Chains A and B, each alone.
Chain A
Amino acid sequence: MFKGRDIVTIIDLTKEELEVLFEETDSMLKYKGLNLRLLEGKIMAAAFFEPSTRTRFSFETAMLRLGGRVIGFSEPSRTSIAKGETLADTIRMLNAYSDLIVIRHSIEGAAKFAAEIADVPVINAGDGTRHHPTQAMIDLYTIKRNFESFDGLEVGVLGDLKYGRAATSFIYGMSKYPIKHLYLISPPQLKCRNEVIEYLKFTGTSFTEVEKLDDVISELDVLYVTRIQRERLPDPAEYEKIRGSYRVTLNHLKEARDNLIILHPLPRTDELPNEIDSTKHAKYFEQAGYGVPIRMALLKLILVGEEI
């Protein structure tokens, strides 16, 4: 099911496959403080063409916790890429040196291309504005831990839905489950891209695009918050006028359901102020804590399979 396969988008995984991953993650949670030898002798190549802290460190930690080793770079400026090497050639080289490649790149479709070139499995750790499948796995797992089932949930996704790859992958992930409704909350300039909307229609997901959190906060079981980068808006001054609509406050929470959980892929800026952290709704640190065990589970499933 997982052994030897590439992970380019969350769309490629079925609900059943995600369930296998989540069960494996449950066991990894028990061992996350230990050093296991499951991946002894295996080498993961981390090809980070774009800055990353938590994704890269959590992949590396996951590999080391399982007894594997890591090579790679996080500053392409110090590699042959700075000399003008193509992505294709860099991937061919890493393919020869390692058992698995994790790639992050600002160019859209880079991970799919890398997967076509490499014989070893390739995991997409983010390609431009398009996909971030392992973040979506963490997000879905957090919901599962908090609600047991996705059935009938009402879910809101807030922020930059046009350029945000974490938000996009989360939305694709939600379309796999029988949730009741998906609210896509963003300024008009940062609405979901056409291909995402087409996909939601194709999968029959019930959704509405709205502009203000105030209008839907009382309807939600899950609120997924993402950052709006003001430079994404055609007129950054415009951001000052609308920022209040995309900032979660204690006032919003007065209207919220008792069981509402708030998620955020982090890092955050002012869309999620510190005052929310101490509320029972805040689950984003719990969510961040699943980064390593999810990636441990995924690396184990891809490199040695479900048995063992």
Chain B
Amino acid sequence: MRRDERLLVSKIQDGTVIDHIPAGNALYVLKILGITGREGLRVAVVMNVESKKLGKKDIVKIEKLELKKDDVNKISLIAPTATINIIRNYKVVSKSKVSVPERIEGLFSCINPRCITNQPREPLKSKFRLVSLSPLKMQCEYCGYIMSHDEILRQLTGG
């Protein structure tokens, strides 16, 4: 990259950089992390920039935030190509690729209204099993419904 093309986003001191998000999905990532901008955290969102691996990608930098396991699982469902960099004192201290877990519990709802997991007051969480990575498909362990990637995204983002 030529120096004059470098993006004008400053480094963060401590926090998380989520890189290699498929272009156009950065706002979904913020949404599922519950970041609205009103928390007072410094957040940088970079969208549709060139990427060797993906052609185009999005990047999200969030200061003072360390991700929980559930957050990483959710990100893997929205952005299966994402890498997560933990930053301490301006340095990358760990870098990892997300991976879609074989089983997911309670992260999103089954789309089938007649599924036991959607019945009010019953004490149980949704449970899904990975049946295909590409395209992403997950099967409800209770009613058997197979959720497509689009349906999962809609459930996760409420969109």
Q: Within the complex, which residue of A128, A193, A198 is in contact with B131, where a contact is CB–CB below 8 Å?
A: A198
Minimal beta-carbon separation of B110 from chain A (angstroms): 8
Instruction: Please tell me if the beta carbons of A108 and B142 are within 8 angstroms of each other in the complex.
Output: yes
Q: How many residues of A contact B (CB 8 A)?
A: 18
| Most chain B beta-carbon neighbours within 10 Å: one of A88, A109, A113, A195 | A109
User: Which partner residue on chain A sits nearest B146 by CB separation?
Assistant: A195
Q: A146 within 8 Å of B by Cβ? A: no
Q: B37 within 8 Å of A by Cβ? A: no
Q: A53 within 8 Å of B by Cβ? A: no
Instruction: Please tell me if the beta carbons of B146 and A109 are within 8 angstroms of each other in the complex.
Output: no
Chain B contacts with A in 96-138, Cβ cutoff 8 A: 112, 114-117, 119, 121-124, 131
Minimal beta-carbon separation of B62 from chain A (angstroms): 37
Q: Within the complex, which residue of B112, B121, B122, B124 is in contact with A108, where a contact is CB–CB below 8 Å?
A: B112
Contacts A86-B121, A109-B115, A193-B144 aside, 16 further interface pairs with beta carbons under 8 A come to A87-B122, A88-B122, A88-B123, A107-B114, A107-B115, A108-B112, A108-B143, A109-B117, A109-B140, A109-B141, A109-B143, A110-B116, A112-B141, A113-B124, A128-B143, A129-B114
Q: B-contacting residues of A (Cβ < 8 Å)?
A: 86-88, 106-110, 112-113, 116, 128-130, 193-195, 198
Q: What are 26 A-B pairs with beta-carbon distances under 8 A?
A: A86-B122, A87-B119, A87-B122, A88-B122, A88-B124, A106-B114, A107-B114, A107-B115, A107-B116, A108-B142, A109-B116, A109-B117, A109-B140, A109-B141, A109-B143, A109-B144, A110-B116, A112-B142, A113-B116, A113-B124, A116-B124, A128-B114, A130-B144, A195-B144, A198-B131, A198-B146
